[in-house]
Amino acid sequence: MVVKLTPRDVMDDAPVIPVIVLSDVAHAAPLASALVAGGIRMLEVTLRTGAALACIEAIARDVPEAVIGAGTVRSAADAQAAARAGARFAVSPGYTQAVGQACKDLDLPLLPGVSTGSEIMAAQQDGFDALKFFPAVPAGGATMLMAWEGPFGDVKFCPTGGINPANARDFLVLPNVACVGGSWLSPAEVIARGDWKHITQLAKDAVALRAGR
């Protein structure tokens, strides 16, 4: 039986949600298995390549320990395709009511992207309080999140965009940050050479970031 997730479940599972871009479905299951072996279960495969949906489907089928999600969800059609492929959560770069309603209709937990106070208010009005802050560093970084703590103290964020091992803890120590999103757990060159042990070590290092909170 598949346990129903909430957006907070997705964000609270580990300090980092990997932002994954895959062009070859053959890499999907080995990558997911390597990340899970390192302690990272929530995996965001972005819908940026023609192989993305097939990769989501492969991970959902072959790596049941992983919780696969779809990133770069920009329309209701994206959400529907991701759900059909087996995605158990969705992440969007921005927020529209159409995307939000589609995910509600699909019972697909959504982390909507926001970068302004108005966007936070729009997402909250539609019932979303676990949000992706994107692009985090260009949009104001940790300073912006600290400013939002006052008026939006009931919101939790997953900052994504410009996050790396050197600055991740600057975000994770903030009271309104549940986790961060980052692409450094799945470097293209490491995937290309199939160095899955290296991926597992990157995941272990990411899990260890929680100790700094």
Token pair belonging to 21: 């871009």
Please tell me the total number of residues recorded for the chain in this structure: 213
Is 132 noted as a catalytic residue in this protein? yes
Work out the number of other CB atoms within 10 angstroms of the CB of residue 131.
29
Catalytic residue among 44, 65, 119, 149: 44
Helix (H) or strand (E) holding 31: helix 28-37
Q: 188 and 24 in contact (C-beta within 8 Å)? A: no
End-to-end CA, the chain:
33
- The torsion angles phi and psi of 89, rounded to 5 degrees, stand at -155, 165
Q: Which of 126, 53, 115, 42 is nearest to 84 (CA)?
A: 53
- Per 3-state DSSP, the chain is made up of helix, strand and coil in percentages (nearest 5) of 45, 15, 40
Catalytic residue among 57, 119, 132, 156: 132
Token pair belonging to 59: 């991970």
The catalytic site residues sit at: 44, 132
